[in-house]
Amino acid sequence: MRRLAAVSREAAALGLRPGQKATDAMALVPGLVTAEAEPEADARALTALIDWCVRYSPAVAADAPDGLFLDITGVSHLWGGEDAMLDDLRGRLSAGGLPFRLAIADTPGAAWALAHFGRDGTIAPPGGQAEFLKPLPPEALRLDPQAAAQIGRLGLRRLEQIIALPRAPLARRFGAATLERLDQALGRSREALTFRRPPTPWVARLAFVEPISTPDDMARVTQDVTAKLCARLEAGGHGARSFEVAFHRVDGKALPLTVGLSLAGRDARRIARLFEPRLETIDPGFGIECVTIAAYAVEPVSGRQGRIDADLSTAVEDGLAPLVDRLVNRLGPERVWRAGPAESHVPELAVDRAPALGAPPPEAAPWDREAPRPIRLFRRPEPVEDVTALLPDDPPLQFRWRGRLHRVRRAEGPERVAEEWWKRDVEDVSVAHVRDYYRVEDADGVRFWLFRAGLYGASEAPPKWWLHGLFG
């Protein structure tokens, strides 16, 4: 059955509404012009609008299919207050030809109710959303159709009637979801939103009288907006590990750039330098009208002073960290790392990639000093040939590796290492995956880490020998 997905203002004035049967709509308006709905295109347009709204708040969540939430906590002052922020948003949406209704309230539920059923542009004062919600219909609570219909049959036409009902009978008659929606709208319980970007109160913004487009201007405003945010971070005793600058073009597109720090910091000049090599990737189009910056992974950072003449001292930020940050942001975090311990007794699985700077993951235990591992562990064990041993479990007396024969002078072992059987099905566990490791030294003083794969007598084929690493 075909139904109307959306209607224009003119169609709404003629009595048509979303969800109405197409045949009924044609009967009411014989000359009705329709077009096929495109939900995928609508979703893409809503995502583009969310990205555009980053100019107002870094925390924007979709309210599919035709709405969105902006968390403006801590950012409305950048616009001169909530009224000025609402006026600017209204003017830009009107210039873009988008129909809209706006409202501001303490909770997402109250803002949704006022935007859909209240007066357009309503701003509920902090803690005062209840008075604005009382005259609205029950549908303003975003109830499921069955609960809304049942409420209507009982003659409840205003939210103040529902608010006045005892809570227990209300939940028993209309369901717990109705009570939850009411509590969310009134601020009695929290509502989780899925933001396109993680919310953060650490935001700064610069707007320009005239659009800018030259690389020098973009570099300068990047330094200015970074300094503005870093001043806030320093005043609060905080630093951040990730910064995102967004250039907002006059055509409504937001062009973001993100850089990361290995250690939380707030040095504006150093952070701006990380953005500079990537500014050439920004296409200003017909001009950039404002720039915003947001800080993520914010954490407390104590002040550092190496000595009295601190300007001449070398702190961690001026030593290794800037080099690591430049390499990471230029080459990618997957190419700049250090080896760290991982929870596994299998040698090739006991090493994991860790950030180049900073503490290792707390869940990883340090390597066992009683079971030393070679400094150089091969990516894949290499086969050795012509291995001679007196007894099956004895270390080798000689072996050939890469065409050269090595005679063993000293040896230690074996250290038996089995596969991680708990990660396999029982029927897949095999003694062929058991390894006996030996630390051996040849006549030239070179130390090797060899292992014998498999056990004698476990199969017809004799165990094979492999070289897994070198000591020193």
pLDDT reported for residue 360: 58
Token pair 């070679």 is at which residue? 374
Instruction: Render pLDDT for 69-81 as a digit per residue (tens, 0 to 9).
Output: 999 988 888 888 9
Which of the 8 DSSP states describes residue 330?
H
Structural domains of the chain, count: 3
pLDDT for residue 438 is more than 90: yes
The answer to the question of residue 113 being in a domain is yes
Strand ranges across the sheet with 203-212: 203-212, 288-300, 238-249, 254-265
Both 174 and 223 in one domain: the answer is no
Domain ranges, residue 247: 203-329
**CA–CA dist 321, 327 (Å, integer):** 10
Question: What is the bridge-based pairing of β-strands 435-442 and 203-212?
Answer: unpaired
pLDDT bucket at 187, cuts 50 / 70 / 90: very high
Q: By three-state DSSP, how is residue 109 classified?
A: helix
Instruction: Render pLDDT for 86-102 as a digit per residue (tens, 0 to 9).
Output: 999 999 999 888 889 99
Range from 110-119, 120-129, 194-203, 310-319 carrying the lowest mean pLDDT: 310-319
Spatial CA neighbour of 239 closest among 304, 299, 178: 299
**CA–CA dist 262, 223 (Å, integer):** 20
The answer to the question of residue 68 being in a domain is no
Radius of gyration of the chain (CA): 33
pTM: 0.59
The answer to the question of residue 106 being in a domain is yes
Across the chain, what does the average pLDDT equal? 86
Q: Are 95 and 87 in contact (CB under 8 A)?
A: no
pLDDT reported for residue 6: 86
Both 210 and 323 in one domain: the answer is yes
Q: Are 151 and 175 in contact (CB under 8 A)?
A: no
To the nearest 10 degrees (0 to 180), the angle between helices 268-275 and 320-331 is 20
Spatial CA neighbour of 444 closest among 471, 407, 404: 407
pLDDT over 70 for what percent of the chain?
Answer: 89
pLDDT reported for residue 128: 92
Instruction: Render pLDDT for 266-280 as a digit per residue (tens, 0 to 9).
Output: 999 999 999 999 999
pLDDT bucket at 425, cuts 50 / 70 / 90: low
Which of 272, 299, 329 is the last residue before a domain boundary?
329
Both 426 and 325 in one domain: the answer is no
C-alpha to C-alpha distances, 85 to 93, 189, 468, nearest whole angstrom: 12, 27, 64
pLDDT bucket at 313, cuts 50 / 70 / 90: very low
